[in-house]
């Protein structure tokens, strides 16, 4: 208050808004990672993926017209191959659009009692504490400065946390594959793999006919067939290998991050007793025998493996949406049922780590 009795600062009711922990570090608008903005060159791999899908179609139309119509005189084969190839292309683009347009897994704002300005003191005191213990390792993101749900990870490329993050994919518009886009991503891989193998099958059958009937076919159509056979087999093997790997992850209820990092098990260990290690232990604290033990346990300790049927049901829901674009994974992406044997196996791993630590 100045000498005239006028306060230096005054606050109108409702003029102060609580600051969300997620937005507290997003004030710098020039930071691309904080604001999750992307430059034009981030979309070049996506453009390349679209061109690779569309690239075989001129050669396909050449084969359909010059071979199936003009040589074989089969409208049935022409319409069948045309319908199947463009149906698979349509399915590939629908799931690709969903992966690019849909948020992979937004972290909900923390339900903090301080965020309610109209809350009375009595309500604040009577409100029960949250179920999650954010002081536990892995429950709080120190970059976003916000709660991090189970199986969520922070992506350094996107500058945010993603629910059940699988990996960051530059081919999907430089976006992450997470809880809400994992099913469409597998649908995309399956559609492209089937399209590639079907195209290769059409081309190989045409090449076989051209080899035995060289005088009945023109000179350029076999070249298109050769290109389609090579491209179809190449993409079928490359994309098919990714599809096979992600089907394996789905059937075992793992993400790419969980499958590739053995030491994520450390944060789930029970408290260690009589050990120099921290609770939970850090990777750099482990000796070489302890590291080998954790890597060996990683192949058998699957925290969320409920059997392949239940694991598959956690990714794909029955319905037409699953067939058209992959649908969406059921659940909220924050809570996942655990393997009933996980706690027992983690306790055994913790006791073995303590024994190795005492023997060192």
Q: Residue 329 has which token pair?
A: 């994974």
Contacts for 8 with CB less than 8 Å, ≥ 6 apart: 1, 2
**Pairing of the two strands 146-147 and 153-155:** unpaired
Q: Are 71 and 217 in contact (CB under 8 A)?
A: yes
176 catalytically annotated:
no
Q: Output the CA torsion sign for 172, 177, 179, 184.
A: positive
The CA-atom distances, in angstroms, between 232 and each of 58, 71, 83, 86, 207 are 14, 23, 18, 15, 14
Contacts for 27 with CB less than 8 Å, ≥ 6 apart: none
> How many helices and strands in the chain, by DSSP H and E?
12, 6
Produce one character per residue of 171-196: b if its CB has 16 or more CB atoms within 10 Å, e if not: bbbbbbbbbbbbbbbbbbbbbbbbbb
> Residue 149, Cβ neighbours under 10 Å: how many?
21
169 φψ region: left (φ > 0), alpha (ψ -120 to 50), beta (else): beta
Q: Indicate the length of the chain as a whole number.
A: 360
Produce one character per residue of 210-247: b if its CB has 16 or more CB atoms within 10 Å, e if not: beeeeeebeeebbebbbbbbebbbebbeebbeebeebe
CA dist 244 and 49 (Å) reads 19
Q: Residue 83 has which token pair?
A: 């319908």
Please tell me which residue in 141, 169, 176, 329 is annotated as part of the active site: 169
CA dist 248 and 225 (Å) reads 33
CA dist 181 and 104 (Å) reads 5
| Catalytic (active-site) positions | 169
């Amino acid at each position: 208050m100045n000498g005239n009795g006028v306060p230096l600062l005054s606050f109108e009711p409702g003029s102060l808004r609580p600051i969300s922990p997620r937005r507290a570090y997003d004030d710098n608008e020039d930071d691309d990672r904080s604001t999750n903005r992307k430059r034009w060159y981030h979309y070049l791999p996506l453009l390349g993926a679209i061109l690779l899908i569309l690239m075989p179609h001129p050669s396909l139309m050449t084969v359909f017209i010059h071979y199936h119509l003009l040589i074989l005189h089969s409208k049935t084969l022409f319409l069948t191959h045309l319908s199947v190839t463009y149906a698979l292309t349509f399915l590939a683009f629908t799931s690709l659009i969903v992966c690019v347009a849909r948020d992979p897994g937004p972290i909900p704002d923390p339900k903090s009692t301080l965020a309610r300005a109209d809350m009375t003191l009595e309500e604040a005191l009577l409100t029960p504490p949250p179920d999650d213990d954010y002081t536990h390792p892995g429950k709080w993101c120190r970059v976003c400065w916000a709660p991090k749900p189970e199986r969520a990870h922070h992506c350094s490329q996107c500058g945010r946390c993603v629910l059940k993050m699988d990996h960051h994919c530059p081919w999907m518009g430089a976006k992450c594959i997470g809880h809400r886009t994992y099913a469409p991503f597998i649908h995309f891989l399956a559609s492209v793999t089937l399209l590639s193998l079907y195209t290769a099958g059409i081309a190989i059958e045409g090449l076989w006919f051209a080899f035995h009937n060289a005088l009945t076919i023109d000179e350029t159509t076999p070249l298109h067939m050769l290109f389609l056979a090579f491209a179809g087999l190449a993409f079928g093997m490359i994309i098919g290998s990714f599809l096979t790997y992600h089907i394996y992850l789905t059937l075992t209820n793992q993400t790419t991050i969980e499958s590739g990092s053995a030491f994520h098990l450390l944060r789930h260990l029970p408290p260690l007793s009589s050990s120099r290690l921290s609770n939970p232990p850090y990777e750099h604290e482990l000796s070489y025998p302890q590291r080998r033990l954790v890597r060996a346990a990683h192949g058998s300790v699957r925290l969320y493996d409920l059997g392949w049927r239940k694991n598959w049901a956690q990714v794909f829901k029955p319905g037409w949406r699953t067939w058209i674009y992959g649908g969406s994974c059921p659940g909220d992406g924050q809570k996942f049922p655990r393997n009933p044997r996980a706690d027992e196996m983690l306790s055994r791993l913790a006791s073995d780590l303590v024994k190795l630590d005492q023997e060192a």
